[in-house]
Amino acid sequence: MEERTILPRDVGAQEQGTIMKGTSVLSEPPYQDDIVRKIRKAREILSDPREIAVGTTDSEVLCEKRLFRLLHYRPLVAKTAATPILVVYALINKSYILDLQPNKSWIRSLLSQGFDIYLLDWKSPANADKFVSFDDYVNYFIDDAVDIVRNRNSVDKITLHGYCMGSSMSCMYSALHQEKVKNLVTIAPVLDTSKDTTVIANIARYMDIDKLVDSIGNFPPQKLYECYAALKPFKQGVNKYFNLVENIDNDSFVQNFLRIEKWLYDTPPIAGETIRQWIKDIYQRNLLFNNEMKLGRNLINLSRIDIPLLNIVAEEDHLVSPECSVPLNEVVSSDDKRLMRFHTGHVGLIASSYSQNNVLPKVGQWLRTRSQ
């Protein structure tokens, strides 16, 4: 039988709320008491998280319709770029991930670099909206928002800036209405799904989406939670709760944890016809990448895009494979196109200290030279 060596406890580490080294923990009563206390505290915090502040950057609602709100962020410094930026968020979860907390806010960083920022914030579709499709989202809702931003700033063209599914929608819009877009900035666009090796792509490929939409209508949040639960199930799904318990006395850690947790489980349904197109046309048939996807009567041809393009991908993205996003640069006709790759994940790319220090300064620099 194996013998386990019991090393002395690291009291300092315990005080800092970090991981304890070299203990056979459960055998030592004081440690056992402490772990029980921490688990109790974690349980209390998780069952009653009170108010979690997210999306705190000051903004005004310029327009509110049934399925979207157009927000304009108040400037933090004098404007340094003439071209306004319209950020198009995804239809999955809520847009405040782009403004999660002041020191990890994508929006705030762009504002503090002197850009004029607008955000297309999608509202939850009701059961009555189940026939709303990408045609509505792209050709009407995004188009309405683009026109409002253009008129308000008296400019012909704006910078369109999408995140994840919002990037794919921005590509669709640019291919169809390029006369209104000066620059296209995409973060982790879902594009060449034949190269997507993620769990989400695998599940999507074999999903009978017709049956689901025809029977249920809108895509329910529970289905998305099922997918989330299969993404890094132990490294993130299980380990994050160990980390929480270990760091439960570190207020900053707990607040960060709660903000991300709130976002993860703040999931609206997705309109039925929209998710049908997303799964069937994009994941199962790869029509968007092959220039065969139709929105209403319009065929989307990505090779029509010849405006400056900045495509940003995360090397460790487990929601959208980098291999799925990178081909955007190959399929457009732009002469001025740039691919930026960063060693982080899907959310780390937009809502982390890494992003603030490494990603956003470069994005700002690229934008500034093309926004005068």
Partner 1 sequence: MSDPNRPKQETRDEHNRTMSGVESELASVYDKWNEIVQLPTIGPMKGFVKDYNEYCSELLCLIKSMIDSYASLNNYWIQMNSAYTHAFNNLTANKSSVSTNWDQEQIRMALIDAFEDAYTSLFTSKDFAKAYDEVSSAQIELMNSIHRIFEKNMEILNMPTRSEVDIILRELTELRRDVRDLRQEFESVKKYGRENNFT
Backbone angles phi and psi of 294, in degrees to 5 = -115, 135
**Considering 161, 164, 171, 324, which one is annotated as catalytic?**
164
Binding to partner 1 (CB under 8 A) within 326-355 occurs at none
| C-beta of 210 vs 336, nearer to partner 1 | 210
Choose between 37 and 205: whose C-beta lies nearer to partner 1. 205
3-class DSSP assignment, residue 147? helix
Query: 337 phi and psi, to 5 degrees?
Result: -140, 145
197 part of the interface to partner 1, by CB under 8 A:
yes
DSSP, collapsed to helix, strand or coil, labels residue 370 as: coil
Residues of span 5-24 touching partner 1 by CB under 8 A: 5, 7, 19-24
Helix/strand/coil (H/E/C) assignment for every residue in 264-324: HCCCCCECHHHHHHHHHHHHHCCCCCCCCCEECCEECCHHHCCCCEEEEEECCCCCCCHHH
User: Hey, what's the torsion of the CAs at 224, 226, 227, 233, to 10 degrees?
Assistant: 140
State the minimum distance, in angstroms, from the CB of residue 279 to partner 1: 11
30 binds partner 1 (CB under 8 A): no
Would you put residue 121 in left (φ > 0), alpha (ψ -120 to 50) or beta? beta
Residue 336 annotated in active site: no
**Stretch touching partner 1 by CB under 8 A, among 131-139, 177-185, 328-336, 359-367:** 131-139
335 is an active site residue: no
At its nearest, how many Å lie between partner 1 and the CB of residue 75?
A: 30
Q: Among residues 44, 53, 82, 296, which is the contact residue for partner 1, using CB under 8 A?
A: 296
- Taking the C-alpha atoms of residue 111 and residue 78, their distance in angstroms, rounded to an integer, is 9
Choose which of 46, 76, 135, 358 interacts with partner 1 (CB under 8 A). 135
Please, what is the minimum distance in Å from the beta carbon of residue 289 to partner 1?
20
* Contact track, partner 1, 136-165, x by CB under 8 A: x---x-------------------------
- Member of 11, 16, 25, 77 binding partner 1 (CB under 8 A): 25
Among 149, 187, 212, 258, the residue binding partner 1 under the rule CB under 8 A is 212
Residue 130 lies near partner 1 (rule: CB under 8 A): yes
- Phi and psi (nearest 5°) for 117? -115, 130
Contact status, residue 114 vs residue 275, Cβ threshold 8 Å: no
By C-alpha distance, which of 146, 371, 162, 123 is closest to 269? 123
Nearer Cβ to partner 1 (50/211): 211
Query: Interface with partner 1 by CB under 8 A: which range of 90-98, 207-215, 277-285, 352-360?
Result: 207-215
Radius of gyration of the chain (CA): 22
Q: How near is the Cβ of 131 to partner 1 at its closest, in Å?
A: 4
- Considering the rule CB under 8 A, would residue 199 count as an interface residue with partner 1? yes
* Tokens (6 digits) for 232: 């890094």
Report, in Å, the least distance between residue 144 CB and partner 1: 9
Whole-angstrom distance, CA of residue 111 vs CA of residue 155? 19
* Locus of tokens 């970090």: 18
b/e string for 63-81 if b means 16 or more Cβ within 10 A? Answer: eeeebbbbbbbeeeeeeeb
The stretch near partner 1 (CB under 8 A) out of 79-87, 130-138, 151-159, 361-369 is 130-138
Q: How many chain residues touch partner 1 (CB under 8 A)?
A: 44
317 is catalytic: yes
Tell me, residue by residue from 214 to 233, as one string, x for binding to partner 1 by CB under 8 A and - for no binding. -xx------x--x---x-xx
Give the Cα separation of 231 and 237 in Å (integer).
8
Counting beta carbons within 10 angstroms of the beta carbon of residue 118, is it exposed (0 to 12), middle (13 to 18) or buried (19 or more)?
buried
Q: Which residues are marked as active site? A: 164, 317, 346
Q: Give the binding site for partner 1 (CB under 8 A).
A: 2-5, 7, 19-25, 128-132, 135-136, 140, 197-199, 202-203, 205-208, 211-212, 215-216, 223, 226, 230, 232-235, 238-239, 242, 296
